């Protein structure tokens, strides 16, 4: 269903990078699929395998109104003949509220809209049990695909990079992708993580997932030494953006013909370039993991009236 060969490793050339002795490569997971793109496929793959193996009827998962993860889950389930239920934050919404939700419904996802208060229970086991009363044979996947299987699916990305490199750059939300990538690194390689959320404790969040991998304390400490958190690039917080960021995304697309999104990858690439500019990042071969997310950009283009892909 997904052809991994499409996720090429591509060099980005620029005089600015050359001057600072940074060799930049993109791992183009965004090219894997229009909707199940980037880290979405990586996080869902083993969860789908589990559903098939244990003969589950489908996946029940969680997300906000513009969730890339919800669309990807709806799309992948529909293509493998599984059902899907999306529990959506916001009981003021409906399936017609925006393009993301319309797409989820078009793939046959059953959407359940709940209050923000109730959504706060999304990680509680007893709440899952309540949700499963009528759908007992569903496999529950946390918001953003943030479980052990999601993390291990992301680890595979590293094994596809047939190139020596010093560091990886990646956007961070739930930390599932960055944790998986970190697990795949050699001890002398670094991972730069760029949280899309303000006031986010990356180490704390990552340690929850690392603990699920049953790693020794020593192994966790080693991995933590390889992580560099770039937490100054959230642009106000999750879902927030500025004109400067949108203009950067437009410039980058014009220059390199690669679309970034304002929620995750745009912020991460902005961070990378800014760190090169300030001399923090130099003399390195860097791989930027393009985690997709372009499907969510249209609503921002509609809202701002600024087509940053033009």
Q: Is 47 in the site for ligand PLP (CB under 6 A)?
A: no
Minimum distance from residue 64 beta carbon to ligand PLP (Å): 11
Query: Of the two residues 43 and 83, which places its CB atom closer to ligand PLP in the complex?
Result: 43
Q: Is 291 in the site for ligand PLP (CB under 6 A)?
A: yes
Q: Strand 284-289 to strand 9-12: parallel, antiparallel, or no bridges (unpaired)?
A: unpaired
Q: Strand order of the sheet with strand 9-12?
A: 9-12, 22-27, 284-289, 167-172, 190-195, 227-229
Q: CB within 8 A of 229, min separation 6: which ones?
A: 193, 195, 202, 203
Q: Is 266 in the site for ligand PLP (CB under 6 A)?
A: no
Q: Is 45 in the site for ligand PLP (CB under 6 A)?
A: no
Q: Is 171 in the site for ligand PLP (CB under 6 A)?
A: yes
Residue of 293, 297, 300, 308 that binds ligand PLP (CB under 6 A): 293
Cα four-point dihedral sign 154, 156, 158, 160: negative
Residue of 47, 177, 250, 297 that binds ligand PLP (CB under 6 A): 177
Region binding ligand PLP by CB under 6 A among candidate stretches 58-66, 175-183, 184-192, 221-229: 175-183
Distances (CA, A) of 266 to 6, 133, 241: 21, 41, 10
Query: Of the two residues 275 and 289, which places its CB atom closer to ligand PLP in the complex?
Result: 289
A 10 A CB-CB count for 245 gives: 21
Q: Is 72 in the site for ligand PLP (CB under 6 A)?
A: no
- CA distance linking residue 264 with residue 293, whole number of Å: 8
Q: Is 61 in the site for ligand PLP (CB under 6 A)?
A: no
Q: Is 250 in the site for ligand PLP (CB under 6 A)?
A: no
Q: Is 39 in the site for ligand PLP (CB under 6 A)?
A: yes
Residue 273: strand, helix, or coil: helix
Minimum distance from residue 201 beta carbon to ligand PLP (Å): 13
Residue 292: strand, helix, or coil: coil
Q: Is 68 in the site for ligand PLP (CB under 6 A)?
A: yes
Residue ranges in 133-152 that form contacts with ligand PLP under rule CB under 6 A:
144
Q: CB within 8 A of 283, min separation 6: which ones?
A: 21, 22
Region binding ligand PLP by CB under 6 A among candidate stretches 4-12, 174-182, 244-252, 278-286: 174-182
- Residue 155: name the closest of 28, 39, 33, 281 by CA: 39
Residues near ligand PLP (CB under 6 A): 38-39, 68-69, 144, 171-178, 261, 264-265, 291-293
């Amino acid at each position: 269903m997904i052809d991994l060969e499409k996720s090429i490793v591509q060099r980005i050339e620029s005089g600015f990078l050359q001057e600072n002795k940074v060799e930049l490569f993109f791992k183009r997971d965004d090219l894997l699929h229009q909707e199940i793109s980037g880290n979405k496929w990586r996080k869902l793959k083993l969860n789908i395998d589990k559903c098939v193996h244990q003969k589950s009827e489908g996946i029940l998962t969680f997300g906000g109104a513009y969730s890339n993860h919800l669309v990807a889950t709806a799309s992948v389930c529909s293509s493998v003949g599984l059902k899907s239920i999306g529990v959506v934050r916001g009981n003021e919404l409906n399936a017609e509220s925006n393009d993301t939700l319309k797409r989820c419904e078009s793939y046959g996802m059953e959407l359940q809209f709940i209050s923000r208060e109730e959504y706060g229970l999304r990680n509680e086991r007893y709440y899952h049990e309540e949700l499963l009363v009528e759908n007992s044979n569903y496999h529950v996947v946390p918001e953003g695909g943030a479980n052990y299987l999601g993390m291990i699916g992301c680890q595979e990305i590293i094994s596809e990079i047939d190139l020596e490199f010093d560091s990886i750059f990646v956007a961070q939300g739930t930390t599932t992708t960055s944790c998986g990538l970190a697990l795949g690194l050699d001890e002398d390689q670094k991972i730069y993580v760029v949280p899309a959320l303000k006031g986010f404790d990356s180490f704390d969040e990552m340690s929850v997932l690392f603990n699920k991998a049953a790693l020794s304390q020593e192994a966790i400490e080693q991995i933590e030494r390889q992580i560099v958190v770039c937490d100054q690039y959230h642009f106000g917080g999750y879902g927030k953006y500025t004109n400067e960021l949108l203009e950067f995304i437009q410039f980058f697309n014009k220059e390199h013909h690669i679309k970034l999104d304002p929620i995750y990858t745009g912020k991460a690439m902005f961070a990378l370039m800014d760190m090169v500019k300030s001399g923090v990042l130099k003399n390195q071969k860097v791989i930027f993991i393009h985690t997709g997310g372009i499907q969510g950009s249209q609503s921002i283009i509609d809202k701002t009236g600024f087509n940053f892909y033009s």
